[in-house]
Amino acid sequence: MQMFDFDLGESADMIRETTCRFATDKIGPLAKRIDAEDWFPRDELWTSMGELGLHGITVDEQDGGLGLGYLEHVIACEEIARASGAIGLSYGAHTNLCINQIARWGSPEQKAKYLPKLISGEHLGSLAMSEAGAGSDVVSMKLKAEATSSGYVLNGTKFWITNATYADTLVVYAKTGEGSRGITAFIIEKNMPGFSIGQKIDKMGMRGSPTAELVFDNCEVPQENALGPVNGGVGVLMSGLDYERAVLAGIPLGIMQACLDVVLPYVRERKQFGQPIGHFQLIQAKVADMYVALNSCRAYIYAVARSCDAGRTTRFDAAAAILLASENTVRVANEAVQALGGAGYTKDWPVERFYRDAKLLDIGAGTNEIRRMLIGRELIGEAERLAQ
């Protein structure tokens, strides 16, 4: 299918072409096994992606990255998720939630120590905010970091953590005081004493993107591993959420495109009543709605990503873009299953996987209920300020 030209620029087009070729050749052939076996093909993919520069898109060149923007990062995420939503999710967690946070908030020493192996793909990154009792209300986290003469000792757990099982480097938020002004981000290494992986989580979709519990049992963390200001973790967290939502919005774009990649050839070839089902107006309407949903979401997400690059992003637009995309992706994946009929409900065709993968997008990076609350609160607050 020929894509509408959004005139995104030479760098964006180059990233799309490079990522699409890699995803088609290397990720696509593994996608069915990734889902069926809940298999994360780290050895097969991660260093190869590093060689293409895909892990360091938003990292400054002086720190070993490409020095490009969030627009290019969205596009890379989109093309990877087009081949496999699970790999797109793990890629987003590695590159945006971990690498981008260290690149934005790390000291020169931290960046020099951690970024090279993360950008090369030799190491895998993760970020841990949520706990079993602290999801949307992340500030209520219980993981505690007690100061010592040499650093901190962490005790508690984190839950629902993407890439946790294989991660070498993790950005972890813990309580160093009381309330929202008593949270600090830390860089955790997998071999630190007292740190371990707990329960591995078996998911409905995004299978192959490993999710697990983190356990901290008197985990000793050096003082120099605090990321950003001590007790300033909420600022680190919230600033990262805007970029996280913008970049991870590329995943629903990729899944919607994957749906069209399957549906268009199928309705052209599948015949009923003596003609291809694509000749029937109801099927044509489904295809039209899928295409409109995809490109309307693309337009908004690309605009938000460009706004991030220009330093003009708004919190409610970052939330709104992924809200729009996530809900449309569930609808598009549902229509893809319906367009294939009985075939779409079988494991022989990938649309049932797209449907299962799509549902996480209504939940991850803040549920759609939280996104709506945030958008409404910000808009009403802005209206009240203007009225004063």
Which residues are marked as active site? 244
Q: What is the CA radius of gyration of the chain?
A: 21
Calpha distance 361→359 (Å, rounded): 5
Give Cα separations from 246 to 129, 202, 209, 306, 386 (angstroms). 18, 27, 20, 10, 26
Distance of alpha carbon 186 from the chain centroid: 20
Calpha distance 263→283 (Å, rounded): 10
CA angle 189-22-266, nearest 5°?
Answer: 120
Calpha distance 73→92 (Å, rounded): 9
Containing 20, the helix (H) or strand (E) segment is helix 10-22
Q: Please give the DSSP secondary-structure letter assigned to residue 25.
A: I
What tokens does 168 get? 């070498």
Containing 161, the helix (H) or strand (E) segment is strand 151-162
Ordered DSSP codes for 266-279: HHHH-EETTEEGGG
